[in-house]
Amino acid sequence: MNYPNVFLHGGDYNPDQWLDYPEVLLEDIRLMKLAGINAVSLGIFAWARLEPEEGRYDFEWMDEIVERLTENGIGIVLATPSAARPAWLAQRYPEVLRCNERFERMHYGERHNHCLTSPVYREKVRQIDTALARRYAGHKDILMWHIGNEFGGDCRCPLCAEAFREWLRNKYGTLEELNRRWWTGFWSQRYTDWSQIEPPSPMGEVSNPSMWLDWRRFETCQCASFVRMEREAVQAVNADIPVTINLMERFRDYDYFTLAKEIDVVSWDSYPTWGSGDDMALAANVAMQHDLMRSFKRKPFLLMESTPSLVNWKPHNKLKRPGMHLLSSLQAVAHGSQSVMMFQWRKGRGGSEAFHGAVVSHDGRSDTRVFRDVAEVGQVLAGLQPVLDARNQAGVCILFDYENLWALERVQAAQLGNMRYIDTVLLFYRSLWEQGIAVDFADMSEETSLEGYKVVIAPMLFMFRGGIEEKMRRFTEKGGVLVTTFFSGIVDADHLTYLGDAPHGLTDVLGLRAEEIDALYPEEFNTLAFEDGRNLPLEELCELPRDVTAEVMGVYGSDFYAGMPALTRNRFGRGTAWYLAGKPDPYGMKIVMDIILAEVKLPKADAEIDHQEGIVATARGEYIFLQNYSGEAQKVNLGRPMFDLIGQRRIEDGWMLPANGIMILKEER
């Protein structure tokens, strides 16, 4: 496989905007070399230029670009152009246009908004992908295929509605079975003919959570089969070129664990708003996304897009502060990225993204702050070759599951809305990340194994599926430390509640049963009170456990449930099962995790390094990435002399790390 054997540094290259400016295209190459660019993602939205009219392909301009790039040692991540279709295609075949939530057919325009079911769309994409592959897949500098762009969203056209019904028919066999598992005895929802079922919509049925779950699974399935179709088209020509799709942060539309099976390499697009007040909180969230991306395939991933300076689609678009481009780029590398890619290489003169950050601005200069920042990343990456083969190793696994996310999205229970599932996962994640403890993620699918981890954390697993309760039981029995929370083990994979005590199948493992859950108003809080007098605020949700045989480690501080257990520990088999009934804030969560982890030996990236809050250490193999998100210069004491790969120097012990500073440290032997 042509999988990169260096860190890739580059970004989206859209020369199809510049075909009337040959001098600009020539200048691009000179500037790319100056910026240390060794790879570009080419042609992501180039369909209209590649196939100006139906069936007539024009590859000559791309030939020239490909030639020029490869002559200059710049590798190519070649895109299929399926993420935006040409106007002629939409005009001629309106079925390729998506129907929205209200079943209205959209008009031509924008991107990422075609119907993934439409046989015409699939065929047209297959044809252009095949033509592209025939033209370029023999080229040694095509590193990878970039299929489409940021797949997302739903279509509710008649074709999709019919495909949904077909999918349901395959799944359930009979309407009787569907009625049973969708609990349609409620509100007279019984279906007596398949044709009565429509996609969920505010125009029709929107509150049946079982239906919603199936709709999300179906949409995942449509996207997966679309990606597979594209993958097969390009790999039919050359099976050795790996395929990626670029994923997104906090995405909810499709199950990424499932989509990842369709591709060879995971990549993603990261656009945090650095510098807007709390970079530490932001860095925790980004770190979690990186680890999640690495976990989808348990393999290194690519940072496919990031901005070298600002974006142009938030209400306030802040510039990256000095140092932040290097820091955020290397944060990705710390968590397992094999690349730092950006959107985009050069700002266009027009269109909606003319003012989005890019390596080269409208002035065409190479002596700008942004250009220098980018060139610096290029230089640093070139010196990190030994890190490329280093792998992230984790002793903790956090269960994060898209089906559970969807289940929580639509449940009408203690809190309406999504019940802040991802934020709860982040709360746990952050308490570990801040201490330099590495984390993997896994979902609840059948193939998930908890073997090899010392700690498994299962925040807010409202749904149990794939036999996860059995896996958690065995994991604990065999000596693991299991951490569960409020609102766990309540519904099955159909979104039907279990009959019996919650958390389903784990009450003996935990030594309690969860009976009721209370919601707090945003300004309200309870507390988690410890015997030694410490008191931590609890927010949002408080669950009330009964028949507690587990050891009580902390109790509620107020309300009618004051004195009831809020944190418990149960010895089970050779292991320990913890249960946290309420939701602490980030500070409190750190204390809770300290208590939980006191008995476990987990490697910490910063075990010997003495530093203040706002500094975080992340280990990738033997390399320790020491990152400063505090916004101020900070003194760090390494505890022993180490070698810094960025500065290429030996560091004796005490060192000032500037604001947004980063070091990549290696033990000196």
Binding site for ligand GAL (CB under 6 A): 149-150, 269, 271, 305, 311, 343, 353, 356
Considering the complex, state which of residue 51 and residue 269 has its C-beta at the smaller distance from ligand GAL.
269
From Zn ion, ligand GAL, none, interface partner of 469 (C-beta below 5 to 8 A by class): none
**How near is the Cβ of 157 to Zn ion at its closest, in Å?**
3
Interface of this chain with Zn ion, residues 435 to 474, rule: CB under 5 A: none
CA-to-CA distance for 74 and 95, rounded, in angstroms? 39
**Marked catalytic residue, from 51, 150, 262, 540:** 150
Give the contacts of 61 (CB within 8 A, at least 6 positions apart): 15, 16, 19, 49
Considering the complex, state which of residue 304 and residue 593 has its C-beta at the smaller distance from ligand GAL.
304
User: Contact 342/329 with Cβ under 8 angstroms?
Assistant: no
Residue (of 659, 483, 481) closest to 581 by Cα position: 483
Considering the complex, state which of residue 82 and residue 634 has its C-beta at the smaller distance from ligand GAL.
82
Considering the complex, state which of residue 343 and residue 428 has its C-beta at the smaller distance from ligand GAL.
343
User: Contact 81/58 with Cβ under 8 angstroms?
Assistant: no
CA-to-CA distance for 211 and 198, rounded, in angstroms? 10
Considering the complex, state which of residue 160 and residue 360 has its C-beta at the smaller distance from Zn ion.
160
Any contact of residue 223 with Zn ion (CB under 5 A)?
no
From ligand GAL, Zn ion, none, interface partner of 155 (C-beta below 5 to 8 A by class): Zn ion
**How near is the Cβ of 197 to Zn ion at its closest, in Å?**
15
**How near is the Cβ of 222 to Zn ion at its closest, in Å?**
8
Q: In Å, how far from its chain's centre is CA 135?
A: 33
From ligand GAL, Zn ion, none, interface partner of 271 (C-beta below 5 to 8 A by class): ligand GAL
CA distances from 72 to 12, 38, 66, 69, 141 (A): 17, 9, 10, 5, 11
From Zn ion, ligand GAL, none, interface partner of 645 (C-beta below 5 to 8 A by class): none
Q: Which stretch binds Zn ion (CB under 5 A): 100-108, 151-159, 270-278, 551-559?
A: 151-159
Start-to-end Cα distance in the chain = 35
**ω into residue 393 within 30 of 0, thus cis?**
no
Name residue 335's amino acid.
H
Considering the complex, state which of residue 304 and residue 460 has its C-beta at the smaller distance from ligand GAL.
304
Tokens of 313: 């689609």
From ligand GAL, Zn ion, none, interface partner of 150 (C-beta below 5 to 8 A by class): ligand GAL
Q: Is 23 a catalytic residue?
A: no
Bridge partners for 543 per DSSP: 517
Q: How many Cβ atoms sit within 10 Å of the Cβ of residue 27?
A: 16
**How near is the Cβ of 111 to Zn ion at its closest, in Å?**
16
From Zn ion, ligand GAL, none, interface partner of 117 (C-beta below 5 to 8 A by class): Zn ion
**How near is the Cβ of 338 to ligand GAL at its closest, in Å?**
19
From Zn ion, ligand GAL, none, interface partner of 343 (C-beta below 5 to 8 A by class): ligand GAL
CA-to-CA distance for 317 and 312, rounded, in angstroms? 6
Tokens of 318: 């802040």
Considering the complex, state which of residue 12 and residue 262 has its C-beta at the smaller distance from ligand GAL.
12
DSSP 496: P
Give the contacts of 149 (CB within 8 A, at least 6 positions apart): 44, 45, 79, 83, 84, 111, 112, 246
Instruction: Give the residue at shortest CB distance from ligand GAL.
Output: 343
From ligand GAL, Zn ion, none, interface partner of 457 (C-beta below 5 to 8 A by class): none
Any contact of residue 117 with Zn ion (CB under 5 A)?
yes
Considering the complex, state which of residue 149 and residue 222 has its C-beta at the smaller distance from ligand GAL.
149
Any contact of residue 160 with Zn ion (CB under 5 A)?
yes
**How near is the Cβ of 131 to Zn ion at its closest, in Å?**
25
CA distances from 654 to 10, 158, 611, 657 (A): 35, 66, 10, 10
Residue (of 595, 559, 575) closest to 511 by Cα position: 575
Q: Is 230 a catalytic residue?
A: no
CA trace torsion 413, 414, 420, 421 (10° rounding): -60
From ligand GAL, Zn ion, none, interface partner of 157 (C-beta below 5 to 8 A by class): Zn ion
Q: In what order do the strands lie in the sheet with 615-620?
A: 615-620, 623-628, 662-667, 642-644, 649-651
User: Contact 470/462 with Cβ under 8 angstroms?
Assistant: no
Which residue of 115, 260, 506, 514 would you call a contact of Zn ion, by CB under 5 A? 115
Site size with Zn ion, rule: CB under 5 A: 6
From ligand GAL, Zn ion, none, interface partner of 419 (C-beta below 5 to 8 A by class): none
Any contact of residue 157 with Zn ion (CB under 5 A)?
yes
DSSP assignment of 541-567 equals EEEEEES--SEEEEEE-SSTTTTSEEE
**How near is the Cβ of 84 to ligand GAL at its closest, in Å?**
9
User: Contact 382/5 with Cβ under 8 angstroms?
Assistant: no
- Four-residue CA torsion sign, 205, 259, 150, 328: positive
**How near is the Cβ of 153 to ligand GAL at its closest, in Å?**
13
**How near is the Cβ of 59 to ligand GAL at its closest, in Å?**
22
CA-to-CA distance for 626 and 275, rounded, in angstroms? 19
**Marked catalytic residue, from 230, 305, 540, 543:** 305
**How near is the Cβ of 324 to ligand GAL at its closest, in Å?**
16
Tokens of 192: 């007596």
Where on the chain is the footprint of Zn ion (CB under 5 A)?
115, 117, 155, 157, 159-160
- The residues that are catalytic are 150, 305
